[in-house]
Amino acid sequence: GAGVSQSPSNKVTEKGKDVELRCDPISGHTALYWYRQSLGQGLEFLIYFQGNSAPDKSGLPSDRFSAERTGGSVSTLTIQRTQQEDSAVYLCASSPRGAGESRETQYFGPGTRLLVL
């Protein structure tokens, strides 16, 4: 079956521009996560959506970052007035509803590589 997909795969933008990154989770998965991975670094949590609950935005680094999830499926991460330090790989993951280990596993997409010049 189809995994998590993200678009675009690569994005080059100029400092100060806004960018939108898209994530299509695995069908039926109720939880959706955004992480950021800087070059050679670990993953940094950004935001988490679970069903109809209010999202956990505790990882967003500044108010330039926002995300939404429409219809409980597709999510868009928006970065306004991009800065060079925003350059990173932005990863999306989803996980299913259910009991036991299945609900814990986060399935990652390939990421969007963002370069801010």
The binding site for other proteins (CB under 8 A) comprises 4, 31, 33, 35, 40-45, 48, 50, 56, 59, 91, 93, 95, 101, 103-111
State which residue, 74 or 107, has the beta carbon closest to other proteins.
Answer: 107
Alpha-carbon distance of 12 to 92, in angstroms, equals: 19
CB of 57 to other proteins, least distance (A): 11
Tell me how many degrees the CA angle 91-77-106 measures, rounded to the nearest 5: 35
CB of 47 to other proteins, least distance (A): 9
State which residue, 35 or 65, has the beta carbon closest to other proteins.
Answer: 35
CB 95 within 8 A of CB 31: yes
State which residue, 64 or 113, has the beta carbon closest to other proteins.
Answer: 113
Which residue, 63, 72, 73, 66, is CA-closest to 23?
73
CB of 104 to other proteins, least distance (A): 5
Q: What is the DSSP letter of 85?
A: G
